[in-house]
Structure 1
Amino acid sequence: MASQQRDDDDLDRHAWAQAHDQFQRLQTHLPEAAVGNVAREVVRRLAFRMPRFGAGTEAPEQTDIARFCATLTATHEEEAERFVRKLRRSGNSVQTIYLSYIAAAARELGRQWDEDELSFADVTMASGRLYRIIRGLRHVLDRDGPQTAEQDRVLLTLIPGDNHTLASEMAADLFRREGWDIDLSVGEDHDAVVTRADVTRFAAIVLVANGVHALPQLTRLVIGLRIVAPMTPLTLAGKILDTPGVAELCGVDAVITTLESAPQRLREIARQPAGPGSQPPVPQRDTVPRRS
């Protein structure tokens, strides 16, 4: 399995392709403002990794960063992948690529965006390519986070801005009675939820959303969580699943469609192997309610 998904450059081909497809769908289905928020989430999260993890890491020359940024906005999307592969084959570690190149490129792209040196389309393209790269390197980058997952600890979060708390509180109570250690996030903002996942390695994260109006916030949250917790399975629950194709659009790994099935589904999702070569659980498309 591992040899089929990962090549000699440590790239997880499944996650790479999944991230590419997700960004393509987002640009087709979300309003421009929501797409811009997702792009900013990628740039901001990656740029902020540098001061946190970059101590002692030798920074590349500014000309190297400029070349990398150019590949991220190039006509041919293969140029960014080729640039990263060349770095690997020149002896650079994945950590050096992440800390010195990707983080620095995110900072530079953010600066150019703020100063109107890059168009919205260019930044969206570049952020999508950066996101795809880090998803492809997820097994290696995961080593920066908390090293041991707490097997029965799960983050259950209501999408920021949603005040329909009852279903989330009922689900948390149900999971606890089944033996799960539930961290319930209700009423917290986006950054607070992402920070929870950044400092604690959860066995799974369950996102509850109660309508399609929450899709922009949900998608941005999924992107942020993927960056800080690259191997944690993300699961979607709530009335938003009444919208066809929403799980694939926002990029989660699995869905929980009913409260009655929730304990069994969580066991299936949270206890999947998460090591190199493993694939995340696949959303159960046939159980997602479809509108006639």
Structure 2
Amino acid sequence: MAEYLKLGVKNEPAMSQASLGFVGRSVAVAVVEDISHNLDPNLFTALKDAALSTNPDESKQAVKAALAHGTHPEDIADFYIPALARDMGDLWCADQLSFAGVTIGVSRLQAMLRALGPNWASDNATTNENASILLIVPQDVYHTLGAIVLSSQLRRKGFSVKLFLGGKPEDIANHITRTKTDAVFISSSAGETLEKLRQIIEVIRGSSGATCPIVIGGSILDVQEIHDVTALTGADYATKLPDEALKLCGLQETEKKKISARNGT
């Protein structure tokens, strides 16, 4: 039996609905495209066993081994980590992994992501000084892995990203008041209410004077229509695709223009 199953608790007490929601949100991810064709089964298994091992050092060792064998760090971040998060959720649903096991596993995946690219984890990592994105995971929501994956993708595209995990409205307001922000992305789970999102957006509008576009993404779009989300929250746009969000906010074009300007074309 694989070592990670030791993290499972077969006879643990029944979970509350709140705990069920916690697990579901913990493994939510930002990338929604089919990524299975980008995965090597052997590497997937090695990273999975390492993330769910009782030895926390195995995660870093597995990443180092993958990189040493030629795997691109971007592939681990964009394909393997989201797929592993989903797989952990499937294991829990099949009663093969405990609540604690999922929590530990997702935490290890976050550690893998940080180890892959230190600059991806920096709020100031940017080659595009005029494009700054505020990425918010609302307070009391636990689907942080997807937002961390998304923030690393945006930084690699050249954007400066400030990531607010469990952001309180007053903290968000203070940040927007003090800092130039070109767009606000809100990562929202299926368990959140549109009213809660409306309140967050109201705070943002009051702080920024409605000068920056606001985009809602995440698994909430699996259970709500895009029109309803934008109409009832006050968001400008709603999409689960990062590139589409950038395009809707006009940031993709801005990035290309700056690259052309630097190259003198």
Pair in the same fold by TM > 0.5: no
TM-score norm. by structure 2 comes to 0.43
Query: Higher relative CO (CA 8 A, sep ≥ 6), structure 1 or 2?
Result: 1
